[in-house]
Amino acid sequence: MKVIFSILFAITFSVFQSYNLADIRKMYVESSDSKINTTKFYDFMNKYSKNDETLLAYKGASIALKAKHATGIKQKKELFIKGVTILESVIKANPNNVENRLIRLSIQENTPKLLKYKENIDADKKQILLLFSKQSVDLKEYIKKYVNQSLVFTKAEKQQLNK
């Protein structure tokens, strides 16, 4: 009986899996800490199949991050391109979504130069700074945390957001 209940619970959980943005943001930040966290984030986001732009951006990011721990150059390249393609298409559809731009900026800032995926850092910074004041309190805090540890933002830009 316990086995049947466990199976039903697992099926129900996977079907009605909740995609809470606060939890996903936390998972995204933690995904850079270890291969285990990256895999958990990837496995969770890879099941997402709806159309929310921000969740799709995180899905793309999870795939791109998974590439870091993939075995073999071919698999790394395929995963990275797949993830970045999702992220880029979401940003193209809505260029004023600050969170999606922050996700792309964080990936580009931490991507090796070898991959040549750094061309949008300045444009993303500009949009983030320009539209920051119009964001929710939660998103502002999330942005500030990233910006304060980022190497691509100047001291003046960091101060601008921390007023």
Give 28-80 pLDDT, tens digit per residue.
Answer: 999 998 999 999 999 999 999 999 999 999 999 999 999 999 999 999 999 99
**Residue 11 belongs to some domain of the structure:** no
- Residue 82 inside a domain? The answer is yes
Establish if 34 belongs to a structural domain: yes
pLDDT in tens, 83-136: 999 999 999 999 999 999 999 999 999 998 888 999 999 999 999 999 999 999
Structural domains in the chain (count): 1
Task: Give the predicted TM-score (pTM) of the model.
Answer: 0.88
pLDDT tens string 72-88: 999 999 999 999 999 99
| Domain span at 26 | 20-161
At residue 9, the pLDDT reads: 46
Question: Cβ distance 108 to 118 under 8 Å?
Answer: yes
Residue with token string 């970045």:
84
